[in-house]
Amino acid sequence: MSSQRQFANIIKKLEKSVEQAISKTALKNVGVFARDLVVKRTRLGYGVKNDLEAKSRLAKLSPNYIKKRKMFDGLSSNTSPSRSNLTLTGQMLDSIISETKDRTIIIKPTGRRDDGKLNADIARYAEEGGRNRPKRIFLRISQLEFKQIVRFYRKTFGDLLRKKKVI
């Protein structure tokens, strides 16, 4: 499984919602907005199992792992020992970027961490889970995030910009 997510279907759906083709500049801005939504939602402790479904709480951390986190000096200020939000040092979520290629937005973790591991591998490890480790799927867009993206597009580039005087 790839640790990067391509959102071509989201763009198609967005274009259908706003009934117009989206320009390259708009696509780039939509990508950054979508990236920020994914990172914020994950930091708040929620994942999304499939695109355009409802978000749900990420699986809880095990008591043993919470103990380890309590002892860990480099714990990010964006988490707490017991909070399940895919944040230990914070490097993986911080590394996530959005790229646009053709008619697709790609949201992906990038680069290498302080410990030499790839952020993409850390994300894949979280999403795939393991024998005693639940899947924590987060690189998706929820239904309500999609609605936020539609609104962002309409407000920034689309018809709502033209209607600014009344709303």
Partner 1 sequence: MIQAKGITVATKWQKIKIDLSGYGLNSDQKDEVADLIIERIVNRTDQGKDKEGKRFPGYSKSYKESLDFKVAGKKGRPVDLQLSGDMLAALEVLDKTSRSVTVGFERGSEENAKADGNIRGTYGKPTPDPKKARDFLGITETELSKIIKFVKAQE
**Where along the sequence are the contacts to partner 1 (CB under 8 A)?**
37, 40-41, 43-44, 46, 55, 77-80, 83, 85, 142, 144-145, 147-148, 151, 160, 163, 165-167
| Three-class secondary structure of residue 142 per DSSP | coil
Give the residue with the Cβ less far from partner 1, 113 or 154. 154
Residue 142's Cβ-count burial label (10 Å; 0-12, 13-18, 19+) is buried
Q: Which string of b and e fits 1-19 if b means at least 16 CB within 10 Å?
A: eebbbebeebbebbeebbe
Q: In terms of C-beta distances under 8 Å and separation of at least 24 residues, what long-range contacts does 42-45 make, across chains too?
A: 42/85, 42/86, 42/93, 42/138, 43/78, 43/79, 43/85, 43/87, 43/93, 44/85, 45/83, 45/84, 45/85
Distance in Å, CB of 76 to partner 1, minimum: 10
Give the residue with the Cβ less far from partner 1, 2 or 82. 82
Distance in Å, CB of 9 to partner 1, minimum: 19
Distance in Å, CB of 167 to partner 1, minimum: 4
Distance in Å, CB of 93 to partner 1, minimum: 10
Give the residue with the Cβ less far from partner 1, 113 or 155. 155
Distance in Å, CB of 52 to partner 1, minimum: 13
Residue type, 106: I
Give the residue with the Cβ less far from partner 1, 106 or 144. 144
Give the residue with the Cβ less far from partner 1, 6 or 17. 17
Residue 153 · residue 18 · CB < 8 Å: yes
CA count, 13 A, side-chain hemisphere, 32: 5
